[in-house]
Amino acid sequence: MTDGPGVASAPTARRGAGSAVLTGAAVLSAYGRGTQALLSGVLSGRPAFAPVQRFDVRARRVRFAATMPGSPELLTEVTAAVREACDDAGLSPSDRARSPLFLAIHGDPAIARAPEAGQPGLGPEAFTAAVARGCGLAEQPIRCYMSACVAASTAIADAAAIIARGHADRVVVAGGYLVDCDQFALFDAGRVLADDGQVRPFSAGRRGLLLGDGVGAVVIESGESARARRAPPLARMAGWGRTGDAYHPCLPQPEGHGMARAVTAALQRAGIEAEDLGYINAHGSGTGQSDPAETNALRLALGDAVTTVPVSSTKSMHGQALEASGVLELIVTLLAARKGMLPVNAGFLGADDRCRLNLVLGEPMAATAEFAMSLNAAFGGANTALVIGLP
Amino acid sequence: MTPLAPAASPGLAALHAAAAAAGLTVTSSASWPETDADGEVTALAGFIESNFSPLLAEVAGRALRGRDQPQASGTVTAIVIVTALGDVTSAARVATAVDAGERVFPLLFFQSVPNAVAGYLAARWHLTGPVVCVSGTGAGLDVAALLIDDADADEALVVRVDLAVTEGDVDRAAAILVTGPADRERP
């Protein structure tokens, strides 16, 4: 739509002086409930895609997604994940009652079929309040993010930034998307789903994305708060960046300038150099235009380190969880870094010259990743980069 | 063309109040409907079936054109969309088509999330800051303040859209452009 904004005009990222740490995590994916199921799944290298059974897809061009069995209910699953993350963090009832919830969702799944008069009661804030109530979290302030595929990663960045500035001691961040007939129909109509039933990020012959179930929750708190509770951090929220492409309603800026600025800001806030990164879980949607743009962004932001930092897109296994992607993929990144095993970039058929990265291929890679990055991009040219550091 | 009373734009009043609470300075603002000439909003190419995106683009354009000073070169502007329910009109259209076994228009895919029109705005007005969509006005201005404080943006365009959901109501939208005050803490 335009020639793009160029890489200039990126201000130097600032942050508050405080530290932010992750002290609890919980997740659901097509591999099942729990972090161990997810870690085992992505380290198996076997994608979770299968023909959709949850709803009728006979009229669709593509019939694959990564789903759990049955028809899990979003409010139930998000509430369970938030509760489990709080348990994982060892939060007492009084800790929970003082913790706000930032929730990333598309909206209440019921709203599209509700009579008009009932729609106001089915807004995302009502949904978020119900989750908070069900988990004993503070019912005010709550915040709902609906920024598509960067909703959860933006919520995580905001939570870390708020805590670093001392504006809050703790925030619980969650995201949820369960593959549904409406979004499936929209993505099918948009002809972005992979008709070969596999997601092949950065690969020659890639044919698009596939949707996947994802519900995740993390507890982010100040280092001081975690120490006071004697809660061992799972990782530090070391850095974060969010930017816009100023290019197009739904296409990424081809040269990756916006994403490059997000990566640079995250590295600046983390106080590290590109070569300090031990792993990048890329956005890697597996679509024709997004993967080369992201590759260009990484080449711009990482410089020579782009040839050595291991990269994979775990969407190649658990699928695209839309608003929940950021939290699902941060948890994957966290689990991989803590395990010292990096998941493969599945579905790879062969090199694409426009996507030259140091991809993890074939087998998971044993590696020490003291710092790891998770990237997300969305419609509207929104980009986010999150950096975690092992404690 | 007669300006409407401030009571016709509760969204704009709420944005101003939230900006003040967040310690932000409003440099421009606009609303819909703003005058009695605001009947049908101008269509926006590529966006169909719903007024959500056209309204958002209209009030955002008014606020951006209404700046006291032209945008300085290199200014990074964030886009923060505030909406209580999102684009319920588009969501209902998709659900109806799916339930009837009808074809879903591909264009509805592109406008299925509020980010899409933010991408249009960003390209049209060269806004290179973060794109965020949240559900509450207070949250939206808090996000704007955080982005400015942390130098993710120099200013933020905050746009609120409330589509009519009950009989007799009208679609409303409001937009403000905010920046941090000169004496704002800059650690």
- With an 8 Å Cβ cutoff, are A247 and B165 in contact? no
- With an 8 Å Cβ cutoff, are B152 and A59 in contact? no
pLDDT tens digits along A331-374: 999 999 999 999 999 999 999 999 999 999 999 999 999 999 99
In CATH, what number does B6-179 get? 3.40.47.10
How far is the C-alpha of B59 from the C-alpha of A336, rounded, in Å? 45
Contacts of A107 in chain B (CB under 8 A): 85-86, 91
The H or E element spanning position B156 is: strand B155-162
- With an 8 Å Cβ cutoff, are B187 and A17 in contact? yes
- With an 8 Å Cβ cutoff, are A2 and B126 in contact? yes
- With an 8 Å Cβ cutoff, are B94 and A9 in contact? no
pLDDT tens digits along B6-21: 666 788 999 999 999 9
Query: What per-residue confidence (pLDDT) applies to A117?
Result: 81
- Evaluate if residue A231 carries a pLDDT over 50: yes
- With an 8 Å Cβ cutoff, are A244 and B122 in contact? yes
What is the DSSP code (8-state) at residue B6?
G
Whole-prediction pTM: 0.96
What is the domain partition of chain A in residue ranges?
Answer: 21-389
pLDDT tens digits along B91-123: 999 999 999 998 898 888 888 788 999 999 999
CB atoms within 10 A of CB B20: 12
pLDDT tens digits along B11-53: 899 999 999 999 999 999 999 999 888 988 999 988 888 899 9
Closest Cα in chain A, distance from residue B148 (Å): 10
Beta strand pairing call for B25-32 and B172-179: antiparallel
How far is the C-alpha of A92 from the C-alpha of A26, rounded, in Å? 17
This complex has an ipTM of 0.95
A21-389 CATH, one of 3.40.50.300, 3.60.20.10, 3.40.47.10, 3.40.630.10? 3.40.47.10
Q: Which residues 47-86 of chain B have a CB within 8 Å of chain A? A: 73-76, 78-79, 83-86
Contacts of A12 in chain B (CB under 8 A): 151
Closest to B50 measured CA to CA, from B83, B10, B13: B83
pLDDT tens digits along B116-152: 999 999 999 999 999 999 999 999 999 999 999 999 9
Distances (CA, A) of A341 to A38, A214, A311, A344, B181: 13, 21, 12, 9, 47
Q: Which of B97, B108, B135 sits opposite A123 (nearest CB)?
A: B135
